Structure 1
């Protein structure tokens, strides 16, 4: 079966910047692109196959037709025709809102489908870029509500200056915010459920404040305080380095200076490769080939047994 590339879904936002379009080598004059949805099965925001036999198909139509051959037997039994991961590039010219995501159980109790556990891999960001992840001191739900009302909620959050290669794992319930100047890749459950806690008193282009979800968020926040919210790992070249393993996805980073064959013969899952730097090519066991470079995302079907990566390229590998 062929490997799949998709047309990116570019999202212009209040806080978006100008990094994504050139990073992805696109001929577009769209401005303030805050997000590029790379691989998405979210309803009304589904990825469209860019070429090949299935050109023009939606990702969910692929799943419905190819089933376990695309996603794997266990994944198809678990998720059905819903593709389980959403992959994005995010460029924050301005600070994003402070937010939190519910667990699957909390979301389903409100009829919202799935919750959202996610991770960030920081790419080449501005020198002064920072982000917030988790609580740095203990607060109660009542204190949280008061701090939102008196504009001091940021005082309770852990803030980190970031650089290329930094990784943050964000389980559902962890309060967080992407700061101005951050450019990153995000891998998450297929869900668009976000509870906006605080938006720095910003107004949209119509002069309106954006909706907040203070009460809903209070029910979802994990108030546990941890000493460090960064994911620590040792960067290495020409071998996989696992970054995150959780019930929703496993993600590794590769920094290749020479060809490598990735062996998926024992893996019962699709694989998504997300290009971060450099360029090369992918060749599967059937001889199918696709170019692969920074800014591109490729979906490998569960039937793929081996894929040879050529060139000098750095990328994320994620599967369920």
Structure 2
């Protein structure tokens, strides 16, 4: 089944969203979420993000921390960079380890901006963001985010925008250290980008690139180019489709997609 698109306006969003996503009518859209019309949320959430300005410096809790605060789960995610303007950057981790007191003070003063490890990015790069990682996405980026199905974000710093910060909760769940996660790099077709614990993620030209499809579980397909056909439906860039590991899935000759389960 094709999932429904949900457009989310953001102060850092864009008015020039690619036409494959539909007509935005001048809206400043920052995120497009995909969801099913089901009683219970799916375990994986897929988003596209489009940035014209920097996002806040923020952090997500892990499962135990989220549940202690009354939430169903924490949030870990993977970013796949689809397009990036020259010089575009993301911030992941800090240049040196910060104590809780240092992180709190730096977030209040704005020094956190200079303490972040800002990395230049280009199309095809990917980064896994474990819970507790202090992070931010810069301007001029289109990316796909695959994540645990949770909407829980603590803002540490927002460049003076008039939005709520969550310093106490954010500092409490942060691990403000340099980023060393091995689930990052530049993706080639056929690569597995993420192997658990919350999802697997592949970058593929056809399903033969995925050797261990789970036959009794759902599979998320996010086309980046070309077309993917399954369950009598055709999906292209701008769509997200969920199907079974037992389904017949056909890629066009020019197709590229992310596959998650």
Q: How many residues align?
A: 261
Runs of 4+ residues deviating >6 angstroms: 261-265
In structure 2, the partner of 1:6 is 3
Deviation of 1:224 after TM superposition, in Å, equals: 3.6
Q: Deviations over 1:148-190 (max 9, x none)?
A: 1221002221111111001010011001001011110001101
Match of 1:27 in 2: 23
Q: Is the 8 A contact 2:2 2:235 kept in 1?
A: no
Helix, strand or coil for the counterpart of 2:184?
Answer: coil
Q: Distance in 2 between matches of 1:197 and 1:132?
A: 13
State the partner residue of 1:270.
218
Partner residue in 2 for 1:163:
122
Give the alignment of 1:1-320 within 5 angstroms. 4-24=1-21, 26-38=22-34, 40=35, 47=36, 58=37, 60-61=38-39, 81-202=40-161, 209-226=162-179, 231-233=184-186, 235-236=188-189, 240-255=190-205, 266-277=214-225, 279-283=226-230, 288-302=231-245, 304-319=246-261
Give the TM-score of the pair, scaled to structure 1: 0.75
- The structure having more radius of gyration, on CA atoms, is 1
**1:111 aligns to what SS in structure 2?**
coil
TM-score w.r.t. the length of structure 2 is: 0.92
Asked whether the 8 Å contact 1:264–1:305 carries over to 2, the reply is: no
- Aligned to 1:173, what secondary structure does the other structure show? coil
Rounded Cα–Cα distance in structure 1 between residues aligned with 2:244 and 2:111: 47
Task: Pick closer, same or farther for the CA change 1:250–1:227 going to 2, 3 Å.
Answer: closer
Distance 2:200 2:220 in 1: 11
Helix, strand or coil at the partner of 2:102: helix
> 1:118, 1:171 within 8 Å by CA — same for their partners in 2?
yes
Match of 1:69 in 2: none
- Provide the secondary structure at the position in 1 that maps to 2:185: coil
CA 1:82–1:8 in 2, change beyond 3 Å: closer, same or farther? closer
Q: 1:161 to 1:272 in 2, by over 3 A?
A: same
Cα distance change on mapping 1:260 and 1:312 into 2, 3 Å: farther
Runs (5+) with no aligned partner, structure 1: 41-46, 48-57, 62-80, 203-208
The alpha carbon displacement at 1:269 in A equals 1.6
Q: Please provide the CA RMSD for this pair.
A: 2.2
SS of 1:200's partner is coil
Output the CA distance in 1 between the equivalents of 2:103 and 2:213.
48
Distance in 1 separating the partners of 2:109 and 2:192: 41
Q: Which segments of 5 or more consecutive residues in structure 2 lack a partner in the other structure? A: none
Any idea what SS the aligned residue of 2:86 has?
A: coil
